[in-house]
Amino acid sequence: MLIPAVRLVSNPFFQRGAERANRVQALFATIARRYDLLNDLQSLGRHRLWKRRLVRLARLGPGQQALDVCCGTGDVAFALAQTGASVVGLDFSPEMLAVAAERLERFPGTPGSVRFVEGDALKLPFPDGAFDAVTIAYGLRNLADLEAGVAEMHRVLRPGGRLLALDFGKPANPLWRTLYFAYLRMAVPVFGWLFASSADAYAYILESLRDYPGQEGVAGLLRRQGMTGVTVVNLLGGAMGLHCAEKQ
């Protein structure tokens, strides 16, 4: 059965490239202080469960090294550190990293270590094979060059290391896909307007799915990088996709 088309309006804001990166950076600067609240509201808190599942699939333990790309305010980085791993959280938004640093001060008892660095996901400032796991949650859609970003994450993984990616998806069921996109189009921007004074800040989620390849497209990209054991976990009927893959 063909999935009915859902119109995703072409917008230069979301074109791949340097200009898109600059605009996305400005967007996150606007919402950094309300980012966690808005995530809880729009997902009814379920994003925290999905992130915990990502962390479990990373299979980390004491003494191992992990990198969380597009770390935002640090949710996944802190959870990874609870396994005893040493974690680096990287993001290109100083405003988001400032919130992460404030949270770090309130979590001094983390079993592993956590540090945050400002950097570009397309040019990771780390040597080849530096990490046992690389994670990215809700960052793939925002990369100016998706393939280059995945290649960089693959580069800094050690052989046998695991890459975990959690992001919005494209449900295969046509009815659920239509309803889900309607929710993203109409309800989610209202949360942005009410709680961050910016409807545009959360209207971008649907727009960013316009040229995002979805679950199977990302899985294919991981395989083209030479990764093995590529699996896709569809969450909430495919509204979210969790990818797991290993570097040979």
Q: Note the pTM of the prediction, 2 decimals.
A: 0.86
Pairing of strands 157-168, 240-246: antiparallel
Give me the CATH code for the 12-169+212-246 domain, please.
3.40.50.150
Angle, CA of 193, 197 and 200, to the nearest 5°: 60
| CA-closest candidate to residue 117, choices 135, 129, 101 | 101
Q: pLDDT tens, 187-231?
A: 766 766 665 555 565 667 777 788 899 999 999 999 999 999 999
Residue 200: the pLDDT is 62
- Cα angle 203, 207, 213 (rounded to 5 degrees) comes to 140
Give me 57's structure tokens: 């699939």
DSSP letter at 209 equals T
- For the chain, what percent of residues have pLDDT higher than 70? 82
For the chain, what is the largest distance between any 2 Cα atoms, rounded to a whole number of angstroms?
Answer: 53
The per-residue pLDDT for 36 is: 79
Convert the pLDDT of each residue in 139-159 to its tens digit. Answer: 999 899 999 999 999 999 999
User: Could you tell me which residues are beta bridge partners of residue 163?
Assistant: 134, 245
pLDDT at 12: 42
**Residue 239 and residue 24: Cα distance in Å, rounded?**
22
pLDDT band at 20 (very low <50, low <70, confident <90, very high): low
Parallel, antiparallel, or unpaired for β 228-235 and 240-246?
Answer: antiparallel
pLDDT digits (tens, 9 = 90+) for 23-76: 677 677 677 777 777 778 778 889 999 999 999 999 999 999 999 999 999 999
Task: Please report the pLDDT score of residue 161 as a whole number.
Answer: 98
Q: Where are the domains of the chain?
A: 12-169+212-246
